[in-house]
Structure 1
Amino acid sequence: MWSILCRCAAVLTSAALVGGLSGAPAALAEDFSRVDRDPVQGNEIVLSDGTEVPTALFSLRVADSASVSAYTAEADGEVRQRAAYVESAWDDGTRWTEIDAVTDSVDRATWVVANSYPHVALADLAMASETIFLDERQAIAGTQAALWHVLDGVELDPGANDTAVTALYEYLVAGSEDAPDDSGAPSLKISPTQLETVAPEKPLGPLTVTSSGTEPVRVAVRGAPASWLVDADGEQVRRVHDGESVYLDVDPSVPAGVVTLHVRGDDVPLPEGRLFTGRDGVRTQPLITAEPGTAARATAATLTWHSEEPEEIASPEPATPAPSVPEPESAAGTDDSAVVVPDATPSDEPSDEPREHSADDDLAGTGTWLSGLLIIAGALVVSGLIILVLGRKRRN
């Protein structure tokens, strides 16, 4: 008897836990990057307005891959080392293109990091900038000042800074004016990221995959079971190369659905000059990769289709009113001023009119998760009491 009751208590507790937690949202895995150690400090620089600003070279671990060096894209703000970063497209914001210059500011920034430290050795960089000696702190300061100039319009005070820093800054600023066109696209991208159609007769698409690598990347869909990824010839595909397009072939018997197209590549090349910003709008300094690397990259797109929208139904013609029947005269005669007042007593019959939506109706659904927690707590208390009472009886 004792063992049976203990089992019942355990089953009750487990059922409450499963029922209460079944409504909890599942966590979604997502690649992100972090600043993984203290930065290497550079010389402090003096701007044209007299402001003194520190410089540093950060280490950014891209997803689970090796770390790469990175500079900040703006002179103001700070890097939150615990913040999660994601690779972003330069054209997501307009602030990178507001600098008045002949050459695009993003192209200039890419040229700066590709032709400076740590991508270029200190001795070679000193020779290119025509300085006698250049150490790591000076190289970091000169490179960071040049990036702030081409991206943020910051001017360096030539007379208030180290000679080697100023020489490197001027070399990088001048050289970036003739930078070649570089789109600065992310290392892995799918376009468009959202696609919607009505009653598709052909496969949905195209969706074009762009990758910085030469190896194919994996593609897969999740959502509607009766759908497949195909190429332009209608053949099913699981891997695509850079520049290739995919389509979603939908079973005609499925009138509507939503699927997510996942694209993932292993050891995708990550060129220097790629932009990383705070995930989900987290405020932290944007970072620019200063050396090439490789990383596992992932991206996704959403495809939606639904059945053809029904045509609007014409409103019926109003019925011809029936001829009015004169009411019988009362015994007291007729009185034109008499008014018939309808009975205001509420009826128990249900009304055909739609009920107004109340804010309380929305609030009623918010207690689902709280109710689950209360069920769990109650089940645990009841189980404990049962075991305690039965334990005492057993001892007696």
Structure 2
Amino acid sequence: MFSAVHGPTARKRGALRLATATAVTGLVAAGAIAGAGTSFADDKPAASSSGVHATLKSASVTVGAKIDVNNHGKKTAPVGGLFELKVDNAGVIQTYCIDLNHETVDNASYKEVTWAESSLANKAEAAGKINWILDHSYPKVTPDQLSKAIGGKDLTKDTAAAATQAAIWHLSDDVEAVPQDAAAAELTTYLLAKAENKPEPKASLGFDKDAVSGRPGSQVGPLTVQTNAKKVALGIAPGAAAGVQLTDVNGKVITSAVNGTQVYFKVPKGTADGFAKVTASAQTTVPVGRAFVSDGEIQSQTFILASTSVVPVTAVATAKWADQGAAPAVSVKKDCVKGGLDVSVSNKGTKDFDVVVLGKKLTVPANSSQTVFVPVAEDAKYDFTIADQHFSGVLDCKTAGTGTPTPSSKPSPASAGGTSTGGSSTGTNGGTNLAETGSSSSTPMIAGAAVVLVLLGGGAVFFLRKKKTAGN
């Protein structure tokens, strides 16, 4: 999904369009993943999707106030505070920025991810302290309660949000951030002094892998359900072969699951080579502290969840089967610690599955699996297909560095479920917003890179596009 970008910034971001490339010297190793195996279907099964999907309602802060930021010698005064994400088919959740110098984009798509898949990947202690701050500050704690904690100083929703954002920026972006309001500045100091390392919250809903494979006449799996919901509904998406059922490890047909449930596909003997998708759905409260990254070709800054409500969550994964030959299933996870993708290939077929990774040939024997790491340049687009499974996205793992944010006016009032949650001042809405997020049109964009992966068996191409440097 592409996000709309309006006004002058749209022209600036035009320079950031991604270009297809076949090799980049010195930025990322170019190479290939290739496979020779069975083609399961003309209609390629999609990669798994999980958790919460949402849209940024506005590129402007909705509750907050100005913060003096010293970004490694570059001093600015952006408005910092809460943003609102509209959950698909549900209400609104509130987030703080953990990625100071990236832009925010109106209507940008977002998805829930682990810390390891975000800019918090290499900041375990900082991430834990941010999670503590979220649990002990606004909006989870009222301005009156926070005022008492710092000795009775008067705080509003706007100044409490600004204080919380400033404390988070200290940890997420390693900058000096001090709210212009005196009481808010005291709250920032208080939060940083008290913060402790708090564990990462559990996922709202997902599976442990994207796909599983096997042979007709057997149970194909397992996929393990990962959720904080009390109960998850399970079903097989339309289009699966007749007779395919979801079962537990003992072969009992199941229509629901809980955290840790192992799900199998029972595929009748004689079923033609093919695939089926399992859908999982639930209503749950997404835990405060979950990271949200932009889920589209146009990047928008990374957020962390500050307040939540009960929302619908979904997950999808694929089972594939083949009677003879290799039966590969591929799972891909973003690895922000190493800076790339972990590509796992499982082969439950009767023959070996040959894979060439960065020029080195690997063989995945029948009933075994291999995982390879594919380096991807920061901010680079990846888009590839392996064994009929398609994966795409942008590697957005790091904060943008030392940008030069432009000061802005105060934020506009916020509305969550029809109730005002912000101050009475107004600000700029619409389009991409640099001033209110601490980003800048002059922020250097890290040059992208390309890794070309030619699939010998599936005939698919993995390509990464190069994002051009902008703002220089």
Q: TM-score range by the shorter chain?
A: 0.5 to 0.7
> 3-state SS of the aligned residue for 1:217?
strand
Give 1:303's aligned residue. 319
1:240 to 257, 267, 275: 257
2:67 to 45, 54, 59: 45
For these two proteins, the number of residue pairs brought into alignment is 279
1:87 to 112, 118, 126: 112
**Bigger radius of gyration among the two:** 1
> 3-state SS of the aligned residue for 1:71?
strand
**Is this contact kept in 2: 1:261–1:302, CA < 8 A?**
yes
Does structure 1 residue 145 correspond to structure 2 residue 166?
yes
CA distance in 2, matches of 1:87, 1:218: 20
1:262 to 279, 283, 287: 279
Aligned-residue CA RMSD (Å): 3.1
1:129 to 147, 150, 153: 150
Deviations 1:123-171 (A, max 9, x none): 11122234521122221111111122222222235xx843322221122
**Is this contact kept in 2: 1:257–1:306, CA < 8 A?**
yes
Give 1:3's aligned residue. none
**Is this contact kept in 2: 1:278–1:286, CA < 8 A?**
yes
**How far apart are residue 42 of structure 1 and its match?**
2.0
CA distance in 1, matches of 2:324, 2:125: 45
CA distance in 2, matches of 1:302, 1:251: 17
Gaps of 5+ in 2: 1-43, 326-349, 353-458, 460-472
**Is this contact kept in 1: 2:232–2:280, CA < 8 A?**
no
CA distance in 1, matches of 2:207, 2:133: 27
TM-score of the pair, normalised by structure 1: 0.63
**How far apart are residue 85 of structure 1 and its match?**
1.9
Look up the equivalent residue of 1:300 and give its one-letter code: V
Normalized per residue, the structure richer in helix is 1
Does structure 1 residue 276 correspond to structure 2 residue 292?
yes
CA separation of 1:36 and 1:164: change in aligned 2, threshold 3 A = same
Give 1:251's aligned residue. 268
CA distance in 1, matches of 2:249, 2:323: 24
CA distance in 2, matches of 1:282, 1:299: 23
Give 2:234's aligned residue. 218
2:188 to 156, 169, 182: 169
**How far apart are residue 188 of structure 1 and its match?**
0.8
**Is this contact kept in 2: 1:77–1:285, CA < 8 A?**
yes
**How far apart are residue 201 of structure 1 and its match?**
6.1
In the TM superposition, what are the counterparts of 1:109-120 in structure 2 within 5 Å? Answer: 109-120=130-141
Q: Percent identity?
A: 24
Does structure 1 residue 286 correspond to structure 2 residue 302?
yes
CA separation of 1:109 and 1:217: change in aligned 2, threshold 3 A = farther
CA distance in 2, matches of 1:126, 1:218: 46
TM-score of the pair, normalised by structure 2: 0.54
> 3-state SS of the aligned residue for 1:186?
coil
2:247 to 230, 237, 246: 230
Look up the equivalent residue of 1:268 and give its one-letter code: T
Look up the equivalent residue of 1:98 and give its one-letter code: N
Look up the equivalent residue of 2:139 and give its one-letter code: P
Does structure 1 residue 187 correspond to structure 2 residue 207?
no
CA separation of 1:181 and 1:162: change in aligned 2, threshold 3 A = same
Give 2:10's aligned residue. none
Normalized per residue, the structure richer in strand is 2
Look up the equivalent residue of 1:172 and give its one-letter code: L
